[in-house]
């Protein structure tokens, strides 16, 4: 069994050893720029952890793990165009540094590269891995579309929002673990349990991301805080605040989201004030706890020696910034 | 053995039987719109023809064939954003009818769908099929990037241009045939021969497309003629005309391509006039003939009964609008 640090080192080394810079440079430079700028690399780590959890051969999981990281980065490159996001991990986004066309095409290439990496494993495993990978890829696109749809409709119910973040974020966390389990030849029941664990973890993780977008430190977070508010994203925070606040606050909150002329910084601070008044932060934390508990129930159902689960428990805690 | 019409019917039926319309509609409506608007569907047809040529089971080739058509359409959806192309097959392009973000994301989804379709065959074939498919997908992106690069550099040599169209167009024609041959369990030598046949055919096909862009009828061609000239594309026609024309014509041609203020229709007619004066059309036709001859040499090297090659010969002739 490997330590979390061992696995993290394997992921970092694997990525560092790839030569993303090829010809034509305008296509590949943005790919190297994206892949070499770090990021938490949670998804490939989850693949290796799941593979190790079920006693699989880590070496067979390396390239499928890389595929998940490349795919994730591809979605960021395209999402940043759609969201008109200037910063990512503290640096200019690809479409900002180059242009939209280059970001589209480099992203497309990354998607194809992801598949190319996913193929580099035991050939018997390939159809199953690519089946779950492709399904997840499509769901991620569905999630992103729902996210964009929500920006332009007046009311979103909380259930729809949660389904959107399941598709946009949780599914990829879940499939990263699932692919690790597939490589380890885990049973169908185990594969399902680790997938469900990942879904719940992913939900909690996205809620944490929503919280950080409002309450995080810009430097630590790597992108401008308040971005969700500035772009009228109807996050769980916003939707729950609407539920919790009084009539006057509700009108103000809706007006702020509908006011396209307002200075973004002013808008962010005013919306934050209402969030604080409603105490919605505690509410989000409660929901996160609920998803975390559900994730733990799934993990409990997996019949392996308890100490094999330690990496996953540590990483989950790190992902959710939990202090234990 | 099937007739060309049988195979075409199979392709059309397969596409007609797919339910591309799903939820969310803004993601899937553009996919259905694109997939249901026809087009020549040459690539899936080539897959079935190659499979049949080598005596394979057509049913196993159907979904990989569909994958190639979906992939091809995905590239068109994204290319049309990059090329700011208003029309495709006589109808509004996706980004025009919806918007760029939707075109990006629907395209991404089509790419994932293509892989999902490619998986629907004999599992033993999947790694090999996806390996060549992914390689081709990356090359198509490289070709599109070179194509964009060429727009903003002053001189392109003809060799570089031909490499660009090999990547952008010929590779996908070639891999469509290659995948059909893989499904039919053809030998490595046969797979290589049909791939090379496809490359040469694809080169001739793209040169025909360049010709049609200037000399085609808008209605028949489905997009505005002169589009390549209007967007300063350095096609073979343009590059060869530069070689053939006299000093004054060369200056005029370069000036026209560098004049961003000129009315597009005026520019198109002036450039066409120079093309006519140089007789470059005949030159392109000669090069097409050369690629066609090379394709035929590859086909001759394939040791199957000659009558099995008839579908491919007919389709090649149709693709190149040859009257025999």
Task: Supply the Cα-derived Rg of chain A in whole angstroms.
Answer: 20
Provide mean pLDDT across the span B92-99. Answer: 97
Determine the average pLDDT of the residues in A173-197. 98
The CB density around residue A260, as the number of other CB atoms within 10 Å, is 7
Pick among B29, B110, B112 to test the A interface (most A CBs inside 10 A)? B112
CA angle A171, A176, A180 (to 5 degrees): 140
Closest CA to B280 of B250, B243, B255: B243
**pLDDT for position A249:** 92
The predicted structure's pLDDT at residue A39: 83
Q: What is the pLDDT of residues B10-68, one digit of tens each?
A: 999 999 999 999 999 999 999 999 999 888 899 999 999 999 999 999 999 999 999 99
Residue A160 in contact with partner chain B when CB distance is under 8 A: no
Question: Is the CB of A85 inside 8 Å of chain B's CB atoms?
Answer: no
Residues of B (6-25) whose Cβ lies below 8 Å from A: 23-24
Residue numbers in B near A130 (CB within 8 A): 115, 119, 126, 130
Q: Are A199 and A297 in contact (CB under 8 A)?
A: no
Extents of the domains making up chain B:
4-319
Residues contacting residue A299 through CB under 8 Å, at least 6 positions apart: A193, A197, A309, A312, A313
Please tell me the distance from the alpha carbon of residue B144 to that of residue B165, in angstroms, as a whole number.
Answer: 9
pLDDT mean across residues, chain A: 94
- For residue B122, the model assigns a pLDDT of 97
Give the pLDDT confidence score for residue A322 in this predicted structure.
58
Could you tell me what percent of chain B has a pLDDT over 70?
A: 97
Give the helix/strand (H/E) hosting A88. Answer: strand A87-88
pLDDT tens digits for B241-267? 999 999 999 999 999 988 889 999 999
Greatest CA span in chain B, whole angstroms? 61
CA distance B63 to B45: 12
For domain B4-319, the CATH class is mainly alpha
Residue B324, pLDDT score:
37
CB atoms B141 and A108 under 8 Å: yes
* DSSP conformational letter for A223: S
| Eight-state DSSP code of residue B168 | I
What residues of chain A lie within 8 A of the CB of B81, using their CB? 100-101, 104
pLDDT band at A323 (very low <50, low <70, confident <90, very high): very low
With residue A49 as reference, give the H or E element that holds it: helix A42-53
* Residue A260 scores a pLDDT above 90: no
The gap from C-alpha A87 to its chain's centroid, in whole angstroms, comes to 16
Contacts of A107 in chain B (CB under 8 A): 108
SS3 (DSSP) at B55: coil
Least reliable range by pLDDT among A291-300, B22-31, B186-195, B228-237? B228-237
Task: Kindly tell me if the per-residue pLDDT of A222 is higher than 70.
Answer: no
Q: pLDDT, tens digit, for every residue of B313-323?
A: 999 999 998 54
Which residue among B101, B108, B130 places its CB closest to the CB of A115? Answer: B130
Cβ pair B253, B232 in contact under 8 A? no
For chains A and B, CB pairs below 8 A equal 114
Chain A contact for B151 (CB, 8 A cutoff): no
For A119, half-sphere exposure in the C-beta direction (CA atoms, 13 angstrom radius) is 19
Model confidence pLDDT, tens digit, residues B260-293: 899 999 999 999 999 999 999 999 999 999 999 9
Q: Given a cut of 90, is residue B179 above it in pLDDT?
A: yes
pLDDT value of position A55 = 97
CA distance A46 to A199: 12
Q: Which residue has 């608007």 as its token pair?
A: B37
Pick from B107, B115, B134: CB nearest A134: B115
Q: Is the pLDDT of residue B1 over 90?
A: no
The Cα of A123 is separated from the nearest Cα of chain B by a number of Å equal to: 6
- Closest-CA distance of chain A to residue B273, Å: 32
Lowest mean pLDDT among A106-110, A223-227, B122-126, B285-289: A223-227
Partner-chain contact B105 A146, CB within 8 Å = no
With 90 as the cut, is the pLDDT of residue A324 above it?
no
* Cβ contact A134:B116 at 8 Å: yes
Interface test with B, best of A94, A107, A127, A171 (most B CBs within 10 A): A127
Q: How confident is the model at residue A221 (pLDDT cuts 50, 70, 90)?
A: low
pLDDT score for B323: 43
Residues of B in contact with A113 (CB under 8 A): 134, 138
pLDDT at B153 > cutoff 90 = no
**How far apart (Å, rounded) are the C-alpha atoms in residues A20 and A221?**
26
pLDDT at B213: 87
pLDDT in tens, A229-255: 988 888 999 999 999 999 999 999 999
pTM of the entire predicted model: 0.94
Q: Give the residue from chain B lying closest to A140, CA to CA.
A: B109
Of A26, A108, A142, the CB nearest to B111: A108
Lowest mean pLDDT among A62-71, A144-153, B12-21: A144-153
Nearest to A26 among B108, B111, B149 (CB): B149
Angle between helices A42-53 and A188-215 in degrees, nearest 10: 150
Q: Are A186 and A51 in contact (CB under 8 A)?
A: no
Q: Which of B82, B107, B112 is facing A101, going by the closest CB pair?
A: B82
Query: Is B104:A82 a contact under the CB 8 Å cutoff?
Result: yes
Whether residues A24 and B146 touch (CB distance < 8 A) is answered with yes
Using the beta-carbon criterion (under 8 Å), do B104 and A148 form an inter-chain contact?
no
- Distance between CA atoms of A25 and A16, rounded to whole angstroms? 18
Report the residue from B100, B102, B130 with minimal CB separation from A119. Answer: B130
Q: Which H or E run includes B180?
A: helix B171-183
Residue-wise pLDDT for B124-148, tens only, equals 999 999 999 999 999 999 999 999 9
**Position of tokens 């019409």?**
B5
Is-cis flag, bond preceding B296, omega within 30? no
Asked whether B132 and B179 are in contact (CB, 8 A), the reply is: yes
Q: Which helix (H) or strand (E) holds A156?
A: none
Of the candidates A82, A127, A145, which has its C-beta nearest B119's C-beta?
A127
| b/e per residue A68-98 (b: at least 16 CB within 10 A) | bbbbbbbbbbbbbbbbebebbeebebbbbeb
Nearest alpha-carbon partner for A195 in A235, A139, A148, A157: A139
Q: Tell me what ipTM this predicted complex has.
A: 0.94
CA angle, A223 then A224 then A229, to 5°? 120
Per-residue pLDDT at A218? 62
Mean pLDDT, residues A96-100: 97
From CA A170, how far away is CA A165, in angstroms rounded?
A: 7
Residue (of A128, A113, A130, A31) closest to A77 by Cα position: A31
What is the sign, positive or negative, of the torsion defined by CA atoms of B264, B269, B275, B278?
A: negative
Chain A residues near residue B135 by CB distance under 8 angstroms: 116
Q: How far is CA A167 from the centre of its chain?
A: 10
How far A209 CA sits from the closest chain B CA (Å)?
22
Query: Is the CB of residue B174 less than 8 Å from the CB of residue B198?
Result: yes
CB A244 within 8 A of CB A277: no
For residues A37-49, give the mean pLDDT: 94
* Mean pLDDT, chain B, integer: 94
A239/A61 Cα distance (integer angstroms)? 39
Which is it for the CA torsion A64, A68, A73, A75, positive or negative? Answer: positive
Query: What is the arithmetic mean of pLDDT over B1-9?
Result: 94
Q: For residues B72-78, give the mean pLDDT.
A: 98
* pLDDT value, residue A141: 98
Cβ–Cβ gap B142/A27 under 8 Å:
yes
Judged against a pLDDT cut of 60, whether residue B221 lies above it is answered with no
Closest C-alpha to A129, from B108, B119, B147: B119
Q: Provide the pLDDT confidence category of residue A30 given band limits of 50, 70 and 90.
A: very high
């Amino acid at each position: 069994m490997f330590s979390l640090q061992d696995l993290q080192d394997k992921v970092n080394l694997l990525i560092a050893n790839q030569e993303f810079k090829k010809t034509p440079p305008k296509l590949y430079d943005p790919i190297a720029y994206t892949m070499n700028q770090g990021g938490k690399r949670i998804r490939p780590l989850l693949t290796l952890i799941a593979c190790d959890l079920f006693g699989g051969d880590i070496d067979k999981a390396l390239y499928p793990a890389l595929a998940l990281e490349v795919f994730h980065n591809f979605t960021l490159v395209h999402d940043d165009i759609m969201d008109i996001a200037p910063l990512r991990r503290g640096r200019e986004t690809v479409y900002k540094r180059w242009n939209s066309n280059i970001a589209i095409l480099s992203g497309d290439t990354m998607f194809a590269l992801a598949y190319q990496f996913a193929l580099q494993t035991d050939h018997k495993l390939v159809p199953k891995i690519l089946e779950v990978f492709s399904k997840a890829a499509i769901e991620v696109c569905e999630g992103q579309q729902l996210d964009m749809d929500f920006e332009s409709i007046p009311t979103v119910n909380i259930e729809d929002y949660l389904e959107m973040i399941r598709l946009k974020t949780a599914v990829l966390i879940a499939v990263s673990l699932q692919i690790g389990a597939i490589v380890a030849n885990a049973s169908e029941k185990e594969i399902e349990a680790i997938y469900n664990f990942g879904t719940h973890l992913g939900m909690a993780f996205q809620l944490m991301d929503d919280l950080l977008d409002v309450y995080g430190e810009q430097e630590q977070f790597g992108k401008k805080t308040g971005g969700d508010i500035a772009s009228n994203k109807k996050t769980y925070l916003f939707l729950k605040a609407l539920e919790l606040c009084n009539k006057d606050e509700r009108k103000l909150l809706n007006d702020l989201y509908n006011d396209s002329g307002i200075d973004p910084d002013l808008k962010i601070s005013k919306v934050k004030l209402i969030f604080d008044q409603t105490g919605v932060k505690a509410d989000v934390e409660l929901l996160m706890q609920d998803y975390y508990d559900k994730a733990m129930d799934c993990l409990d159902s997996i019949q392996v020696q308890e100490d094999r689960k330690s990496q996953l428990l540590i990483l989950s805690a790190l992902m959710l910034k939990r202090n234990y």
